[in-house]
Structure formats: C-alpha cells, structure tokens
Amino acid sequence: ASKSRADDQPETAGVPVSAPGAPPARLVEDLDAALDQQQFWLVYQPIVDLASEQRLGVEALIRWMHPARGLLNPADFIGPAEVSGQILPIGEWALRSACDATARLAPDTYTSVNISGRQLGLRGLAAMVADALDASGLPAERLVLEVTETAIVADLDNAVARLGELKELGVRIALDDFGTGYSPLTHVRSLPVDILKIDRTFVRNVEHSEEDRAIVRGVIEIANRLDLRTVAEGIETPDQLEALRELGCESGQGYLWTWPVALDEALHAAR
C-alpha cells in the first residue's frame, strides 16, 4: 500500500482518494467484496418495556468483519457507503436478514431495522420491503423501520411519500435519534411516524440534568398528544431507568440490559 495520506481523510491511511468527498477507492472495493463474501452480520439489542422490563422488540445493528482491519462498527463504514451508494445493497441485505432471522426465531417480538436516507430516496423501497416480508414470512405488524429526521428533512416531500407507502404495508416507522435534528420537535406532527426514539445524548445525564429532563418531558408530551410510542436509547444505569420511568417514557434499550449481541442471546437477555 502507498504511504501517502490525505489530510482531509483521516481514516483512509495509505489509500488513494478518487474524488473530493468520495470514499477511498479501496474502501469501496472492500465493501463490494464484503457483500460478495458475506463479511457482514447483524447483532441485536432488546427494546424493553420500562415498567416491566419485558422485551417488546429487538433492533438489528450491522457489523463488518473486515479481513485485514478486523471488526468494524457502522461508524467506520455507513457514512462512506451512503456516499458511494453501496448502502443500497447493504441496507437491503440487512433488512432481508433481519426479517428472515426474526421471523424464524423471535415470534413474540418486533424487529426494528435502520433505513438510510439513500434508501428513502428509492421509489421501489416499499416494494422491496414487501418482498422481504413475503420472503421471510414476517408479518408487517412486527417490522419497524427506523429513519432519522435528518434523512427525512433532506427531501421532505419524497420522504413523506415513501413513508406513506411503507405504512400502507402495515409496517411502523420510528424516528431515530429524535431531538438531535435542527427542526422544531413539533414538526413531527406532519410526519407519518409511529415511534419516537429519544437520542442517547438526552439520556446520558437525565438523572442529573434538569435541562435534559425538560427535553425528554417535552418529547414524551408530544408523543402522548400525537399518540406515538416512545423509546429511550442508551440506558446504562438503574438511575437513568428510574428517571425515564418517572418522566413517563414507555420503553428503552441500552447496556443496562445488554449491548447488541447474537439474536438468540438478545432474546434471552434479562437483567
């Protein structure tokens, strides 16, 4: 490998950059190979009812075992795959795999799958999701698709159309990382969503910070008014759990129960 390193591409040592802003050619090649050679897999994190701590669902999260670099997290490759467009086949693989695995192994649970903004741009998205449900036998009511507000706002009219088609299939839509976007929280009123996922940044200090509690309280109030479900992300401690219960948050996920693990482990994880 070459020893040059572009200053603006800190994660791409030794790799020639093909165009400004484009992922390095080497990573693009590696992502193609990863799909061909089945180097991706999914881990799952339970989503629990905060009152009873019973499992309601699982979120599927992608991992990549790179042959040279070892285990890579989404932060290492999802962004570049969005730029290159490779998130389209990767995202389809993740959706189909999650539907297949959970239809077979997790009949009492819903399955939540992250969808990239690039996928939302596909006119055929709903048809692909319908086919994944058909092929796996997973009932639409047991699938949740997670999209970020940023992805929706990037092309609002298109996103609202695509999400509407998905909802017609009977799947539910969760707004991921809610509260981290720049649009006002009440903006959610005009979006076809069912679930608000309260971002981890508001959970981290929820038991100490009156400001963070005010934000969480606001999100829960909006959710209640619009008849949406709430899920808090990144619950790590019993004190955070208690604070979120007191604020009226319905459900959550986090290391308090388990980090993302193999599906069978996620289904048996309990505190």
- Residue 33 Cβ, how far from ligand C2E at the closest point, in Å? 18
| Residue among 28, 48, 72, 78 that touches ligand C2E (CB under 6 A) | 78
What b/e string do you get for 184-218 counting C-beta neighbours within 10 Å, with b at 16 or more?
A: ebeebeebbbbbbbbbbebbbebbeeeebbebbee
d(CA 262, CA 256): 17
For position 62 contacting ligand C2E by CB under 6 A, the verdict is yes
Nearer to ligand C2E, 14 or 265 (CB): 265
| Residue among 92, 149, 176, 212 that touches ligand C2E (CB under 6 A) | 176
Separation in Å, CA 226 to CA 164, 169, 190, 259: 17, 21, 10, 31
| Residue among 45, 102, 114, 119 that touches Mg ion (CB under 5 A) | 114
Site of tokens 């109030």: 221
Nearer to ligand C2E, 17 or 53 (CB): 53
Strand partners, 197: 231
Tell me the number of residues near ligand C2E by CB under 6 A.
Answer: 24
DSSP string across 84-132: HSTHHHHHHHHHHHHHHHHHHH-TTSEEEEE--HHHHT-TTHHHHHHHH
For position 116 contacting ligand C2E by CB under 6 A, the verdict is yes
Query: Which residue in 99, 138, 112 sits closest to 57, CA to CA?
Result: 112
Q: Which of residues 216-235 bind Mg ion (CB under 5 A)?
A: 233
For position 37 contacting ligand C2E by CB under 6 A, the verdict is no
For position 258 contacting ligand C2E by CB under 6 A, the verdict is no
Q: At what angle do helices 125-136 and 156-169 cross, to 10 degrees?
A: 30
For position 151 contacting ligand C2E by CB under 6 A, the verdict is no
For position 260 contacting ligand C2E by CB under 6 A, the verdict is yes
Q: Which residues bind ligand C2E (CB under 6 A)?
A: 45, 61-62, 73-75, 78, 87, 91, 94, 114, 116, 146, 176-177, 200, 233-236, 253-255, 260
